[in-house]
Amino acid sequence: MCGPGDDGFEGETADLEAGIWVRGVDYLSGWRDAREATAELGDALRLVGVDTAGVRLRAASGADGSGVVRLELSAASAREVAMLARVTAARSGWAGCAGS
């Protein structure tokens, strides 16, 4: 797994001003979980050839302290991810479920 700044993706900052903080909620654990998930997702996208220049991943915490991954894609990268999802659905037999 690559360290921060080595993965080709933008972001990786905690958005401390994004909402109201509640005493007693463990936001840091959620953010750490989201940070690990962003690394996993970034690795997976890279493995399948998605252009990292069009992808932004950011770890955050939800209001309840759970981890949240924010994914921002360029139009080209969104089309790549959509194509990969369609291929996976077809291979898994889920192709008939979309758009029903």
Q: What is the rounded CA–CA span in Å between residue 60 and residue 65?
A: 9
* pLDDT score of 1: 33
- Each residue's pLDDT, cut to its tens digit, for the chain (100 residues) gives 333 444 455 544 455 555 677 788 889 999 999 999 999 999 999 999 998 899 999 999 998 999 999 999 999 999 999 999 999 999 988 766 555 4
CA dist., res. 49 & res. 44, Å (int):
9
Q: For 33, which DSSP code?
A: H
Q: Rounded to two decimals, what is the model's pTM?
A: 0.70
Which residue has 């252009």 as its token pair?
51
